[in-house]
Amino acid sequence: MADAKTDTTFSTTHGEGGETHQQTGAGGEARTTTNHGAPISDNQNSLKAGPRGPSLLEDFILREKIQHFDHERIPERIVHARGSAAHGYFELTDSLEEFSRARILTEVGEKTEVFVRFSTVAGGAGSVDTPRDVRGFAVKFYTKEGNWDLVGNNIPVFFIQDAIKFPDLVHAVKMEADRGYPQAASAHDTFWDFVGLMPETSHMIMWAMSDRGIPRSLRMIEGFGVNTFRLVNDDDEAVFVKFHWRPKLGAQSTTWDEAVKIAGADPDFHRRDLYEAIDKGDFPEWEFAVQILTQDEADALPFDVLDATKLIPEELHPLRVIGRMVLDRNPDNFFAETEQVAFLPTNIVPGIDFSEDPLLQGRLFSYQDTQLSRLGTVNFHQLPINQAKGCPFQNFQRDGQMQTQVFTGRANYEPNSLAEAGEEGGPREDPKGGFRSFAAPVEQTKVRLRAESFADHYSQARLFYRSQTEPEQAHLASAIVFELSKVTLDHVRDRVLGNLRNVDETLAERVAKGLNVDLPEANEAFSAPFDMDPSPALSIVGKYPGGLEGRAVGILVTDGADGAVVEAVKAAAEGAGASVKIVAPKIGGVTLKGGKALKADGQLAGTPSVMFDAIAIVVSEEGCAELLKEGAAIDFAKDAFGHLKAIGHTAEAQPLLDKAGVEADAGVVDLSDGADGFVEPASTRQWDREPKVRMLA
């Protein structure tokens, strides 16, 4: 049966005579049902023991919906399909013994093996590395008490509050169902339609549209556990905890135009960057920090710690650094490790426990179900990358597809008394040292309701926007303008703008002006937003790291170039911690002034300036004349200037700079006086240049 206005075909059921019909509600509209035909009264909230209680296993609507969703792709991950990973170790530096009995959090100085996978959400495994997207940040700790999987993102909040909406979110952001595009992009009708109709997404949208959505490197992203967890100590006392990863190199990003051009120049940019850094010994490192709150402290907050669309500002509860993680070994086989690794939020150890966060509660079911679909067997934990390494695993679960172990003895059940007859009786439960769930009271009426404390959808979105520097606010507004410019349905744009008015009036005005549309009325808010003190910790530019450590410098050279200048720039950059690559018109390299040959690391046409954080152009007069005929050379300088990067140059390069539109400023450095003056501007972006090179909202 088709709706003549939208030409949308709904699923129908067949009667005994073969005729088709739809279930309709009291108003005659088609109503949602389960796959077995039971009408659904609430498709927005999972069944919980009270508004803030844990989700219930009996919720067949939640289970059917998520289970169907989990099995929609085989064998590629439905989300986070595009991933890169590395091995390393975690070292605890500060014990949390007063809060947790988990040995991974109490044994100071102990090094625990880890495997970390970074990923994008929306694109398939064959998509590119640099689209605007959320990045997954999943860590598998091989602890002495079993595997602990901390499965998070590079953003501390999420789009939705309840896991029952996750299939809808992903369906909306993925390629549109009728046309199969766009791939790995959120700039389309269905995603923003969902966003406009679900104001709880407002906070996450601020993060995704900010510079956090287009990171410079996987080595330069923060990581978050997203959900609220519990720590439980030896006395079975519990506190709430949020987990944070902070990169040693600082959080850094690209510009939007740069991210787009990197995708064309090197679709594997982030993957290559991570692999090469580890391969040459520049091991990425993160601090591991926690925010710990008692129940009373959580209750005193003006928002609910069980709401995954909220964060706890560091100014209210500072981070406590308790360890560090170093990635020091690349995978030996991409498929066997990066592709087959299975992360499960249910993989926790004694001393760590779940909260009643309804998003987390759904994840506890979904991830296990997904791995059964992807890896095809209940024995996926026996794959080397998934197998517990810090301790053996032992139980009575046997057989199943792809069983790789040979069990001895006839005891495959518990309890048993075979040991009394001298036979192998098998392992037994450990009431004292085994995992025990925190005894949180849960007796309440079964409901499908969202807690009132979850009703504020705008205050923290406002906090994030107002905590950004002026360049970051301009980037965020411009990103929304770009995305909404790809939306073809006027009512969808208007609804999003109506939500933005609740976030920040100035932001809504900037976006409307950037679209050249009238600003609609603000949408009605479930709960009136309130102002919070700005949080400088939420800005990237405001805490941009100094120095060149972990960054890349490209030196464009030609025949006849001054080798002494090349060496000076190279020495200064490498001395400050950067990696340096020589770019030449041809891969065979150049012959420097005096006849010395210089090998090239990249050919000009295939190694554009978007691959670097700063560039130097060291050329001869004749070489520059040749470059003036080459569009790639002009773009090399033009893009570096447009992407706010430092440009060092010799006097002979001036004609190329002129043709590329490069104007003198603090970031354009004449190398005739030496290379030392190049390092400082090369260590950051030239934000003052931005208004001269692009229009921002």
**Which one is catalytic: 45, 80, 203, 379?**
80
User: Which residue's entry shows tokens 């002495």?
Assistant: 144
Annotation says 523 is catalytic: no
Amino acid letter at 239?
Answer: V
Q: Which helix (H) or strand (E) holds 514?
A: helix 505-515
Indicate the DSSP class of residue 132.
S
- CA 355/CA 240 separation, integer angstroms: 8
Q: Are 184 and 123 in contact (CB under 8 A)?
A: yes
- CA 290/CA 104 separation, integer angstroms: 14
Pairing of strands 446-447, 552-557: unpaired
| End-to-end CA separation in angstroms for the chain | 44
Q: Could you write out the DSSP letters of every residue in 560-572?
A: T--HHHHHHHHHH
**Shortest CA distance to 146 belongs to which of 380, 383, 349, 429?**
349
Residues sharing a CB contact under 8 Å with residue 399, sequence separation 6 or more, in sequence order = none
**Shortest CA distance to 682 belongs to which of 637, 640, 657, 647?**
647
- Beta carbons within 10 angstroms of residue 506's beta carbon: 13
Q: Are 77 and 322 in contact (CB under 8 A)?
A: no
- CA 320/CA 289 separation, integer angstroms: 5
Q: Could you write out the DSSP letters of every residue in 363-383?
A: HHHHHHHHHHHHH-STTGGGS
Annotation says 153 is catalytic: yes
3 state SS for 308-346: CCCCCCCCCCCCEEEEEEEEEECCCCHHHHHHCCCCCCC
**Which one is catalytic: 147, 153, 227, 502?**
153
Pairing of strands 614-618, 646-649: parallel
Q: Are 385 and 184 in contact (CB under 8 A)?
A: no
Report the phi/psi class of residue 139: left, alpha or beta, with left for phi > 0 and alpha for psi in -120 to 50.
Answer: beta
Q: Could you write out the DSSP letters of every residue in 630-680?
A: -HHHHHHHHHHHHTT-EEEE-GGGHHHHHHTTPPPSTTEEEGGG-SHHHHH
Helix axes 269-279, 256-265, angle to 10 degrees: 80
Residues marked active site are found at 80, 153
